[in-house]
């Protein structure tokens, strides 16, 4: 199955391939298949082992990830369609991730995942990252969030500045292997772009694993109240507009929950012939 995630219409959002029964796929072919798909991520689904409804493995074209946002949400939409369950629990490399689903009749209209709590630290390569972005002037501290993937959050002055970013991708890859999420906004509306050349991804159209840390970042620095939800626009400059929703609960000093939501649509079904 191929679906577009963090969008309610085909050919937008972030592409995802989901192999709904990977039991017969040889282990040594998982990474080459993900490279063949050449999406940000490809998911392979297996029977549950630890109390979830299914176990998933997530691969970029270059490596396996313990957790990522749009693969979890997209997989929940794909797998829950025939199950008619209000919540689907997926087993990831970081443990169980529940996804609460909303429906209009049989059609799933929205999903909201509870993400692993990120760890936060100062970014030691902040100066090199800022230089590679074109010398932007960060509004908030440049910090690193790890919730499986590693994301560096850079807050710039305006949404126009985000739209005009033209980073030196080679320099950015040298500065950090992490994804670099640049954002701006106010109130409950934010715009972001995410660059990950260190992972072979020049720009990502929708990054669910960075959306949760963005909400955490805003709460921690007093720009958002705990529990308030923000709407994040991403992917516009790539021609794949995406909409993500995120909120962080707890307090400024202690984040206790992170939730990220959005829509997804299935756009194709097919089969691979490997012999």
The gap between the terminal CA atoms of the chain, to the nearest Å, is 20
Cα torsion 124, 127, 133, 139 to 10°: value is 90
The token pair at 103 is 């429906």
CA proximity to 158, closest of 116, 177, 186: 186
Q: Which two tokens stand for residue 230?
A: 């923000």
Tell me, yes or no, if 41 is annotated catalytic: yes
**Among 27, 41, 123, 229, the one annotated catalytic:** 41
The conformational region for residue 105 under phi > 0 = left, psi -120 to 50 = alpha, else beta, is left
| Residues marked as catalytic | 41
């Amino acid at each position: 199955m191929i679906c577009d995630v963090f969008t309610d219409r085909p050919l937008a959002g972030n592409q995802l391939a989901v192999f709904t029964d990977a039991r017969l796929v040889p282990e040594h072919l998982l990474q080459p298949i993900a490279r063949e798909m050449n999406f940000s991520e490809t998911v392979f689904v297996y029977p549950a082992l630890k109390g979830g409804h299914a176990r998933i493995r997530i691969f970029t074209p270059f490596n396996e990830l313990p957790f990522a946002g749009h693969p979890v949400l997209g997989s929940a939409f794909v797998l829950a369609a025939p199950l008619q369950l209000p919540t689907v629990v997926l087993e990831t490399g970081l443990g169980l991730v529940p996804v609460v689903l909303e429906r209009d009749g049989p059609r799933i209209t929205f999903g909201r995942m509870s993400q692993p709590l990120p760890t936060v630290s100062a970014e030691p390569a902040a100066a090199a990252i800022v230089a590679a972005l074109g010398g932007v002037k960060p509004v908030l501290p440049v910090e690193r969030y790890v919730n499986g993937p590693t994301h560096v959050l850079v807050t710039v002055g305006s949404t126009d500045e985000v739209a005009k970013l033209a980073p030196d991708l080679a320099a950015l890859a040298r500065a950090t292997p992490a994804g670099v999420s640049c954002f701006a906004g106010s109130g409950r509306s934010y715009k972001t772009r995410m660059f990950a050349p260190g992972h072979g991804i020049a720009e990502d159209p929708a990054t669910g694993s960075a959306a949760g840390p963005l909400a955490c970042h805003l709460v921690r620095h007093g720009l958002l109240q705990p529990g308030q939800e923000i709407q994040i626009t991403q992917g516009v400059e790539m021609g794949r507009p995406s909409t993500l929703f995120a909120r962080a609960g707890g307090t400024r000093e202690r984040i206790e929950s992170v939730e990220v939501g959005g829509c997804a649509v299935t756009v194709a079904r097919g089969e691979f012939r490997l012999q």
